[in-house]
Chain A
Amino acid sequence: MSAATIRRRGSMGRGRRAARIALHAWCGLVFFFLVLPLVVVFPISFSSSAYLQFPPPGYSLRWYREFLADPNWVDAAWRSVLIGSVTAVAATILGTLLAISLVRGTYPGKGAVEQLVMAPIALPSIVYSVAAYQLFSTLHLVGSWQGVAVAHTVHALPLVVVVVGASLRTIDVSTEMAAQGLGASWFTAVRRITLPQIRPALVSAAFIAFISSFDELVIAMFLGGINLTLPKKMFDSILYEIDPTIAAVSVLQIALVVLVLVVIGRFGSGVRPTS
């Protein structure tokens, strides 16, 4: 190797090192920015004080006890988990079917269907909620958790369709064809050959659908009635009776999401299709 190429490689190495340091610094900054609220919320949730005070004067578990002792909080939390789970399952199943139809299908009006499915993304939450309220009041769904779950499912559909559709496009259609040629019905081919190949996307989609519901306030406000979801209950408690319970709830909420993420990391990774 000539001296010139060595020098070039040397300088390239230096340039790359500088770039890597800059990247690390940037990542650290972003991480810090994202984690900062936690740094405040976490200690406050263990505060012994009756006020939102930082740093807390002492530590205790009283706000967690408070949360668990108050049936309003616990009911709201369970309701949100229930609605989120129903939304995750329903949106993933319906969204996957829609994605298959949109990616694989050839039928007139496909473009229109795609626009329609994507509409909830473009629509402001308030507009969507008012429209859903109108419709659901004629169906006597307002004020029931089922109504919120239905609205959340429709709201989460575009997210599922985008995630699953993108993944479907990357896998080879001929594997599905081959399966049918080897004796599988279309349904069996999809279940045994296509879906396992996009399993990571299905798991991600379900997770995103769950979070989109678990975190959602506006729709739940309009449709929930007296059946408060966790975000609605938190919203109310901030308005009327601010105390560190809210911090404890936040920490529990974060813990649940992290738990779901860990479970996904454990079971969600699948075989990537060969190019």
Chain B
Amino acid sequence: MSPDGGSGSRAPILAVSHARKTYGPVVALEGVSLTVGEGEFVTLLGPSGSGKTTLLKAIAGFEEIDDGRIELAGQDITDMPPARRGIGMVFQNYALFPHLTVARNIAFPLEMRGVARAEIDRRVEEILRLVELEGYGARLPRQLSGGQQQRVALARATVFNPRLLLLDEPFSALDRKLRESMQVELRHLQQRLGLTTVFVTHDQEEALLLSDRIAVMNHGRIEQLGHPAAIYDHPASRFVAGFVGEANMLRGHVAGSRGGHAEVALDSGDRLAVDLPPAARGAGDLQLVLRPERIRWLDDAAQADNAFPAVLVEHLYLGQNSKYRVRLASGLELTLRTQGEGEPLAAGTERLVGWDARDIRGVPCS
């Protein structure tokens, strides 16, 4: 596997190289490179203003890039008008044509391609069935619910077998339950039609759930590109660690070794056993990531490589899991997460907490 968890054996459909885009003084894209393989589902994940929409619009042809190159199926499309790119896009607000019925909306890309009327009718029927909107063809978009409009937009963007499907935060306007069922539906449709897909979201759970690979964006750059598990377990930067999932961020430096592990002295004064790659051992300052679900309650200090007495600061019950904030003797505060309801602990309770040397990750200092 390539370092970015590359498109693997799949033939690359989309290749963006060194794309740069500025709006006056604002740098929206700063040398972004990305390849997407055939049938792959890649998610652009990042905070607001990180350049996700800009990258999507550049791929679709709605924004010209100042520099760089975009290829689709081996063909340079950097300067090609959007109409000729053959890319389907679902806009954040759906952008359905309000004056046309659902069927006419979906028929539009086929009409533009000169498909015969009978064939258009057949394909519109077929895709309406696929998105479970049979019998809704004669309605106007405003007569549909948000989730139904969403499905019409998806049908319209896929009915002409696009070479690439782009979705810009398609579910952000839906309530949680509907969003979850739409996520599943999208994934099924995408796999069934074998659609190469670039999906934009700022919801990290959605990204982890849906994607073959995730590109984490920040300030117009891709900070990390990889499989969801790799992004979560081996964040490449402090930003990625903080943005994808929750993280306890610790700073320190290597102070020796302990039982086959490196020993790290934290700025707080605590000393930890950490599994560090040999390359990182000599380094000066270290940034460490400790996921809240890696920390456990201990009965005995021998149960983990690292064990500390701690005082409970607060307990948050979150339904499927529980979150605790604890303070170590050094004053360092950590977040701890357990599955299930968790023990109802009162603030001030003293407990032993701990984690193993391999539960903690180093990321480059920034």
Chain A residues with CB under 8 Å of chain B are 172, 174-175, 177-185, 188, 193, 196-197, 270-274
Contacts and interface: CB of A to CB of B under 8 A. Distances in A.
A228 to B, nearest CB: 43
Given A174-B91, A274-B141, A274-B142, A180 B82 contact: yes
Contacts of A272: 98
Nearest to A176: B95
B112 A175 contact: no
A181 B60 contact: yes
B81 interface: yes
Interface range for B: 20 to 34
A179 B62 CA distance: 11
Contacts of A193: 97
Contacts of B113: 183
A271 B98 contact: yes
A180 B88 CA distance: 10
A178 to B, nearest CB: 4
B77 to A, nearest CB: 13
Given A181-B60, A184-B108, 7 more contacts: A180-B82, A183-B86, A184-B83, A271-B98, A271-B99, A271-B140, A273-B98
A178 B99 contact: no
A181 B99 contact: no
B81 A172 contact: no
Contact of B61 (A179, A181, A184, A274): A181
B83 A183 contact: yes
B98 A182 contact: no
A183 B160 contact: yes
Nearest to B113: A183
B14 to A, nearest CB: 15
A104 to B, nearest CB: 13
B82 A181 contact: yes
Given A174-B91, A177-B62, A183-B113, A270 B99 contact: yes
Nearest to B57: A177
Given A196-B99, A271-B99, A181 B112 contact: no
Given A183-B109, A274-B141, A178 B95 contact: yes
